[in-house]
Amino acid sequence: MSPEEVIVKGKKIKLRDIDAVPYLFTEAVFAEVFPPEKAPVIFLDFDGTLSPIVNHPEDAALAEGMKKILERCASRYTIAIISGRDMDDLKSRVNINEIIYAGSHGFRISGPGGLAMEHKDSEKILPELDRIEKKLNRKFSAGPEGMQIERKRYAIAIHYRNAGEGSREEIKTGINEILKDHSGVKTGSGKMIFEIRPNIDWHKGKALEWIFEKLYPGDNPGLLPVYIGDDVTDEDAFKAIVPEGRGIIVGSHDQPTAASFRLKDIEEVKLMLKKLYER
């Protein structure tokens, strides 16, 4: 197996540099990517996909016009948003009752018709995250300036977008020193962020599979799972739906991707959703 291939649930998945992934609107035929005989089941990330990336995570909001097109699509298709944000925070920022919300990378899920799930092992990690949060606040009480520690229910995000250019390694080293004494967590990274999460085999891809199987058990050849996201944490979801589904990356990140197509920006996300609604 080459370095550009991974095995997921017995499937061999080819990874590519993002530059080699075709653009949906200039290098593909929309009707072939989304054949009219298949109904899309649409999963989306939030930050960088539905909301522009902002300097402070608490300032994030849906892009202009995005709520209207999401409401329209939700009237025709199943829509789920899977985000690293807490579920309640996610729901408050989108505020559409017909949508499924999966927060904390899918540790908590809520949707129409009483759909609900909270990972059975997640409660075990809360005391450990509390201890880590206190240590982080002490460790970085004097900076670096611009760094932000964001406690979520099942994760801790350390943002360094507004910190000095050379602070990334200092922050990473400090985090690793603290985590030497905490085996119940694991680290991940994204766009200008480090994240500390429960060391549990659960991620956006598994959340996507749980939602899909809960709503559509058995064989469903008439459905087309679609996942749209912009960050490294979305790769688990891209891998979960190939080759049957469509993984679509927005913009780029710095690792090989399992996405099938790409969009330039959030405006093209809106265009894609609009075309799916109107077809």
CATH 3.30.70.1020 residue ranges of the chain are 122-198
CATH 3.40.50.1000 residue ranges of the chain are 38-119+202-278
Quote the DSSP letter at residue 177: H
* CATH class of the domain defined by 38-119+202-278: alpha beta
Q: Domain 122-198 belongs to what topology? A: Alpha-Beta Plaits (3.30.70)
Per-residue pLDDT of the chain (279 residues), as tens digits, is: 555 888 877 778 889 999 999 999 999 999 999 999 999 999 999 999 999 999 888 899 999 999 999 999 999 999 999 999 999 999 999 999 999 999 999 999 999 999 999 988 877 888 899 999 999 999 998 878 889 999 988 889 999 888 877 788 889 999 999 999 898 888 887 778 898 988 888 999 999 999 999 999 999 999 999 999 999 999 999 999 988 899 999 999 989 999 999 999 999 999 999 999 999
pTM of the model as a whole: 0.89
Contacting residues for 237 by C-beta, under 8 A, at least 6 apart: 43, 82, 203, 204, 205, 207, 208, 227, 229, 247
Catalytic residue among 45, 89, 234, 236: 45
The pLDDT of residue 2: 55
The pLDDT of residue 204: 96
Distance from C-alpha of 104 to C-alpha of 193, rounded to nearest angstrom: 15
The pLDDT of residue 167: 87
> What is the full DSSP assignment across 50-86?
TB---SSGGG--PPTTHHHHHHHHHTTSEEEEE-SS-
Is 254 marked active-site? no
Distance from C-alpha of 190 to C-alpha of 174, rounded to nearest angstrom: 18
For residues 99-132, one letter each, b for 16 or more C-beta atoms within 10 angstroms of the residue's C-beta and e for the rest, the string is bbbbbbbbbbbbbeeeeebbbeebeebeebbeeb
Q: What is the CA radius of gyration of the chain?
A: 19
Quote the DSSP letter at residue 97: T
